[in-house]
Chains A and B, each alone.
Chain A
């Protein structure tokens, strides 16, 4: 019991780990195999029963024909006996007539079937006989079974079992096997009647010929017994007589007419009985079970192969069908798992297969698509928010710058430098106007450079022209558009970092030019410069944010604004060497007016 429980538990465990395809395949195959097996067993059983009936019917038919032939043969023998009795013996007085002539005539007519014809008186003394006319010296016919049977039952004809006729004196000693047909007869001698026996010795060959060629097919055979089961004919009779073979003839004598199953010497067989009229003999047809259970030895082998083939074919089909059902589910599950692992670009295909799977994959794909849109929106909104923050931050005028500028204007006004004061205020006004730019974030490059120029005008006045500024746009770049307020933070950085130690020889150069589909703005100074690794770290997002002048936060903000607005490929690149100077290069897409307006509208939406 425990074994069964353990097996059931193991099976349950395996079942839980099985794929849907395996479960479907195994279930369908098991059910189909069980069905086929049941059907096969049913067919075999029905076929066996039908075969059994067929064999029995065939045996009955063959036995009926053999019985007819045997009956004809025996009736012919009986007619010979009748002829001798009613046409000769009854019409003769033995004292006057000789019976031998009539007997000889009949014998000659039927010599192929007859061995001898003889008439005996009631004591067993020979009256007449052909072809042998004398008895052996010590022959005692009255002691023979055929004589006693005739004497005992006078009204009947009696057929003996096969025996060697031993009463006639034959110098050749041929020892012929005969079946004796005997009957009681009334002999007339000198007008008086007396009992006697008429003997017709039928050649055993006659019976053998009737039975010999009768076969039941597939190893079946026929034999003949008398009412007591004594063997009269058997196709292997001499083997039985020699003790090398046995037959179930005694049991067969007990059967009535019909078909029976019996087991003899470990072999199952079907026995069909047909009683031969008048004699009480029985024809026995034997069909070995193997002959009708397996018509041919290859049938079970072929049946087994066919069954296995069918089962495997069924398994194969089930596998294909279940694969068609489960494969789309598996692919869907795999895609979802990859999605779960966060693999970007995982595409949820809308699977084929069954309707339900199609609906499911469509729903999942739709859900993933919606999720992606939402995530994109969030990312975009986050970027926009960050960019806005940076823009706001950069569009704010540094209070120090404003204070210093206004202080410088006051100082110049008080010192009578009216013209310079006006110039500074004018530049400051222009600076503010361009900063506003009607709230647009993308402005013409010319305006941006103008903004930078005004800023530098103010700074140059403040720094008493310790450096010179060159701002220029090369042909093909002037008409392009750029992000607003991206040059000024770089200039501020150049002034406070690069020009800190300049003495009238500082140069800050701003150059805008087009390179392919990009707009490049180089802000270059010949100041102190810095180590390349420091220059590289300025744009590092993980760098701690220190809001001090020259910390580079303004540069990083510009970089982030450009990247957030135009993508990862755009932004700042810093080239610097200590004591050589610094070049900050801004890379932007080359936007024409239309593209700039389109982007502006997109951002506003």
Chain B
């Protein structure tokens, strides 16, 4: 009787092992199929009306999406900085099944409140400005950036009022740069003035804290033949060209490619439940003579792969 029972147990285990062997053959095929189905749909939302200034960042995002199995959907606003439109578009994207959002928030506080109910099902990663409840923020240390840009100005400053272009609106990241620069300049005994737009007769020293604002100020300087010293931010080709042409005295630049890549990678990881922290992006203060240094070339002029054009 005991022998018969042992024999039955042996046959049962043999059968189980046989099934396990067959499963071990089939399982990877099934998993591969499942993996193929796990292509994540990510929405990238800017706060501008066009994405031309984000070309390099988009390259980085697409590189990350390609490596991590995600597809991207880029959206811009009808009116720059329209936080209400941005919120509405993002909520629609969530309802349409977006797995995660990568956002340059027009109004981080308002957007945080709007997205709060969806925080768990659809994580959000922000660019430029931090946002409460976001899975991460990809941005340089805005306060430090503002300070160092002001220091660059102070190196050249020989007297006179400094105009700070206050275009931040509700964008906390830009506001932090402006506030830090203002504080540094005031601490150095420099008289500062905030203006929302570049006046007809700007003072000798002007600071801008957004890439498009910097570009536009530089273009106006060149077009109107003005001679104010412009200190701005951004690494877009148009900004760099203005730096090279002498219309910008110094810029605070960082790798948009890295920013885009890190934002999408963090978003995908958040969807897949992987914890992680994002360090502030390193930035550099560049002047005209620094542009073609080998390391700065790599930072400012990403290699545009022929396959991605």
Contacts and interface: CB of A to CB of B under 8 A. Distances in A.
B28 A312 contact: no
Nearest to A230: B294
B205 interface: no
B303 A243 contact: no
B28 A238 contact: no
A173 B299 CA distance: 16
A32 to B, nearest CB: 15
Nearest to A241: B298
Contacts of A296: 28
Majority DSSP secondary structure for residues of A touching B? helix
Interface stretch (A302-310, A371-379, A410-418): A302-310
A301 B25 CA distance: 9
A312 B24 contact: no
A175 B63 contact: no
B301 A177 contact: yes
Given A173-B241, A312-B14, A323-B3, A298 B24 contact: yes
A344 interface: no
A309 B63 contact: no
B303 A177 contact: yes
B294 to A, nearest CB: 7
A237 interface: yes
A367 interface: no
B86 interface: no
B10 A208 contact: no
Interface in B119-147: none
A302 B282 CA distance: 47
Interface string A202-241: 0011001100100000000000000000000000111101
A242 B261 contact: yes
Contact of A241 (B18, B303, B304): B303
Contact of A175 (B6, B14, B282, B301): B301
Nearest to B307: A212
A244 B262 contact: yes
Interface in B1-27: 3, 6-7, 10-11, 13-14, 17-18, 20-21, 24-25, 27
A316 interface: yes
A173 B20 CA distance: 63
A238 B257 contact: yes
A163 B294 CA distance: 7
A217 to B, nearest CB: 16
A455 interface: no
Nearest to A313: B14
A541 B212 CA distance: 130
A88 interface: no
Contact of A238 (B21, B300, B303): B303
A208 B305 contact: yes
B240 interface: yes
A196 interface: no
A312 B21 CA distance: 13
A162 B303 contact: yes
Given A164-B301, A166-B292, A244-B258, A239 B17 contact: no
Interface of A: 162-164, 166, 173, 175, 177, 204-205, 208-209, 212, 236-239, 241-244, 296-298, 301-302, 305-306, 308-309, 312-313, 315-316, 319, 323
B240 A173 contact: yes
A318 to B, nearest CB: 11
Closest 10 CB pairs of A and B: A173-B241, A241-B298, A242-B258, A298-B28, A205-B306, A175-B301, A242-B255, A305-B21, A309-B17, A302-B24
A373 to B, nearest CB: 35
Contacts of B219: none
B292 A302 contact: no
B89 interface: no
Nearest to B288: A138
Contacts of A175: 237, 240, 300-301
Interface residues of B, number: 43
Contact of A309 (B21, B298, B304): B21
Given A173-B237, A316-B10, A319-B10, A242 B294 contact: no
A241 B255 CA distance: 9
Interface in B284-309: 291-292, 294, 297-307
B214 interface: no
Interface in B213-245: 237-238, 240-241, 244
A243 B240 contact: no
Given A302-B21, A302-B24, A309-B17, A241 B306 contact: no
B294 A308 contact: no
Contacts of A297: 28
A302 B25 CA distance: 7
Given A173-B244, A209-B306, A309-B17, A243 B301 contact: no
B1 to A, nearest CB: 14
Given A208-B305, A241-B255, 14 more contacts: A173-B237, A173-B240, A173-B244, A177-B304, A208-B306, A209-B306, A238-B257, A238-B302, A241-B298, A241-B303, A244-B258, A298-B28, A302-B25, A316-B14
A297 B24 CA distance: 10
Contact of B302 (A205, A241, A305): A241
A268 B294 CA distance: 31
B25 A298 contact: yes
Given A173-B244, A205-B306, A208-B305, A238 B299 contact: no
